[in-house]
Amino acid sequence: MKSSRNAISPYAIAPNRAAGITDGLLCWYDENKRDLPWRHTRDPYAIWVSEIMAQQTRIGFLLGYYERFMRQFPTLETLANADEADVLKAWEGLGYYSRAKNMQKAARQILAAVGGVFPRTKSELLSLPGIGEYTAGAILSIAFGLPTPAVDGNVLRVFSRLEDSAADIMLPQTRQTASAFVSRLMPGDRAGCFTQALMELGALVCTPKSPECAICPLADLCKAKVHNRQHELPKKTSGKPPKTLAKTILILRNPGGQILMRQRDEKLLSGLWEFYMLEAAMDEAAVLAHLKGINVMVNQIADLGAAKHVFTHQIWQMIGYDCLIDGNFNPDGYQWISKDAVSSLAIAAAIRFYVKLL
């Protein structure tokens, strides 16, 4: 007998309640869903792009990015065959650039392995870079109509409140329980609509801090609301606070107006371009001393002010300086870039404050 430990176990829910949740949610979705471009297609590539972009990004913010990205890379083949630099430039401003890099790797893998035919099974999708349980479920249900749960933060929040569950949503077993709950409710004939309806409810009504219970189509079926605990849920363990790092950004210019830049090879912001950076906070005197110590002659220096950028696990506190130097400085990994060419590069969002000052 085969082990079934990876299968989603049945979820105990009364049939009438299950039907009430499913029907109520779908009726609400049909009347209230947002008009989003990827809801006008069943193309798995377009749906995949939208789901990857929507991870940790507000829908209203990404709409313009999505439409531009799809114009530039309208098919899986165009994405697979594009230069990585062009893909990163199209992604500039969305952050989490590994998402774009993994998406292109996956497109190339699909193109090479099966001639560009988009996978239709969960195991095939999970074998691709950047695709996890949620994304696989979203693609299978929305693009192909397969009743496969897609559990993201919105769905976990809706589940926690509907079931009055105090289980920590950061734990894998809670996600598995939520998947079983969704699987029990998902209709075979409208799987994609149900997936989107759950996410839509979490985004528009069952919001994190101020759930709109008065307009919720499932209010009468919500166990947390019955016990007045909807504002206490979901339960979530706090992660470690982000580490604050001091950085000094130097825009080094040579007499010809070129700017010294490099393409990062670190895991964070890999492939993006940045100015010369020092891993410490320095005042003007310290910057001049540092450059003098590596035999760089500074003809002029200007303070560009402070900036801050918050990543998931770290915060950059930056100070920047514009320095005109003699131009004989050629450190490993750096290139002299014309000022006009800088705008065509994929620049790390963390230093965009200083890019604008060019």
Q: What is the CA radius of gyration of the chain?
A: 25
163 among known catalytic residues: no
276 bridge partner residues: 250
Average of per-residue pLDDT values in the chain = 93
The structure tokens listed for 43 are 């193309």
pLDDT tens digits, one per residue of 279-324: 999 999 999 999 999 999 999 999 999 999 998 889 999 999 999 9
CATH topology agreement for domains 15-232 and 243-356: no
pLDDT for the residue 3:
35
pLDDT tens digits, one per residue of 122-168: 999 999 999 999 999 999 999 999 999 999 999 999 999 999 999 99
Class of domain 15-232: mainly alpha
Report how far residue 134's alpha carbon sits from residue 148's, in angstroms, rounded to the nearest whole number.
9
Report how far residue 354's alpha carbon sits from residue 188's, in angstroms, rounded to the nearest whole number.
52
CA count, 13 A, side-chain hemisphere, 58: 3
The structure tokens listed for 130 are 């950047």
Element (H or E) spanning 275, and its range?
A: strand 273-278
The percentage of residues in the chain with a pLDDT greater than 70, rounded to a whole number, is: 97
Note the pTM of the prediction, 2 decimals.
0.84
Q: Say if residue 313 is exposed, middle or buried (CB neighbours under 10 Å; 0-12, 13-18, 19+).
A: exposed
pLDDT for the residue 328:
82
Contacts made by residues 182-189, CB under 8 angstroms, sequence distance 24+: 182/149, 182/150, 182/151, 182/155, 183/8, 183/11, 183/147, 183/149, 184/10, 184/11, 184/13, 184/18, 185/13, 185/18, 185/21, 185/22, 186/22, 186/141, 186/147, 186/149, 187/22, 187/26, 187/147, 188/147
pLDDT for the residue 268:
87
pLDDT tens digits, one per residue of 211-237: 999 999 999 999 999 999 999 999 998
Q: Say if residue 153 is exposed, middle or buried (CB neighbours under 10 Å; 0-12, 13-18, 19+).
A: middle
pLDDT for the residue 240:
83
Q: Which of 51, 133, 200, 274 is catalytic?
A: 51
DSSP letters spanning 299-313: EEEEEEEEEEEE-SS
pLDDT tens digits, one per residue of 3-60: 333 345 568 899 999 999 999 999 999 999 999 999 999 999 999 999 999 988 899 9
**Structural domain boundaries of the chain?**
15-232, 243-356
CATH architecture, domain 243-356: Alpha-Beta Complex (3.90)
Report how far residue 320's alpha carbon sits from residue 300's, in angstroms, rounded to the nearest whole number.
14
3-state secondary structure of 251: strand
